[in-house]
């Protein structure tokens, strides 16, 4: 995929994210993500924030991790996972500040984030990526392993640990406070 004026300028990054990686990422960078990422949608966010507020042990350590706002569909026979495209990120905004305070460093979804979340991304030196909507089946091809690690009762909104290779995303909000949508509003 080529979004930077037709030139292939891809960065390969691995999870968990390091501060060097985060500082190197700039708005508009196209990346391929390798490593583990965790799915979380609305219901899982609510449960995780409740656990944090009660000082309970979380199903995975948020520090330096990447959350993908996604609820995968069931896998067809012979597949690792079903379609798993991004969901609208702004629905998670009310939970995001607390997760960033806990050390979360990356989020993948679609759409803009609130002013408060963008300020928190800068404050806590994190990054927000966009995955492309409508490409859930293609994203499934980037997933090499998948397992439910928490809240199986939530079905597709359970927390999945995904091992990914060549998972395509674009940096929308970087750790310096830049916003892809604002910078490209009039282009």
Range of the domain at 70: 10-177
Residue with tokens 């290779």: 165
What's the pLDDT at 186? Answer: 52
**By the 8 A CB rule, do 179 and 121 touch?**
no
What's residue 6's pLDDT? 45
pLDDT in tens, 82-104: 889 899 999 999 999 999 999 99
Q: What tens digit of pLDDT does each residue of 44-68 get?
A: 999 999 999 999 999 999 999 999 9
Is 183 inside a domain boundary? no
The DSSP H or E segment spanning 51 is: helix 42-53
- CB-based contacts of 40: which residues, under 8 Å, 6+ apart? 48, 67, 68, 69, 92, 159
> Average pLDDT of 19-26?
96
pLDDT at site 185: 65
- Total count of domains within the chain: 1
66 lies in a domain? yes
Question: Quick check: is 131 in a domain?
Answer: yes
- Strand 143-150 to 159-173 pairing: antiparallel
23: in domain: yes
Residue 58 lies in a domain: yes
In a domain, 165, yes or no: yes
Higher pLDDT, residue 12 or 1? 12
Residues marked active site are found at 45
Q: pTM for this structure?
A: 0.92
pLDDT tens digits, one per residue of 127-186 = 999 998 878 888 899 999 999 999 999 998 999 999 999 999 999 999 999 999 888 765
Give the separation between CA 34 and CA 177, rounded to whole angstroms: 24
Give the domain CATH number at 29. 3.20.130.10
Cβ atoms of residues 183 and 120 within 8 Å: no
Instruction: Evaluate whether residue 1 is within a structural domain.
Output: no
Band of the pLDDT at 1, cuts 50, 70, 90? very low
Cβ–Cβ under 8 Å, residues 100 and 50: no
pLDDT at 3 over 50: no
Asked if residue 5 belongs to a domain, the reply is: no
């Amino acid at each position: 995929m080529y979004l930077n004026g037709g030139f292939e300028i891809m960065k390969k990054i691995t999870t968990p994210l390091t501060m060097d990686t985060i500082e190197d990422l700039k708005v508009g960078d196209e990346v391929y993500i390798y490593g583990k990422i965790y799915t979380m949608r609305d219901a899982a966010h609510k449960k995780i924030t409740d656990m944090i507020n009660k000082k309970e042990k979380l199903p995975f350590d948020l520090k330096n991790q990447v959350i993908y706002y996604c609820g995968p569909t069931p896998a067809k026979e012979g597949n690792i996972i079903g379609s798993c495209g991004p969901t609208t990120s702004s629905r998670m905004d009310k939970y995001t500040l607390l997760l960033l305070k806990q050390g979360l460093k990356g989020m993948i979804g679609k759409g803009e984030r609130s002013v408060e979340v963008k300020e928190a991304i800068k404050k806590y030196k994190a990054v927000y990526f966009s995955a492309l909507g409508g490409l859930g089946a293609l994203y499934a091809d980037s997933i090499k392993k998948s397992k439910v690690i928490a809240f199986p009762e939530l079905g597709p909104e359970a927390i999945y640990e995904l091992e990914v290779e060549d998972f395509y995303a674009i940096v929308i909000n970087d750790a310096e406070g830049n916003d892809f949508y604002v910078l490209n509003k009039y282009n």
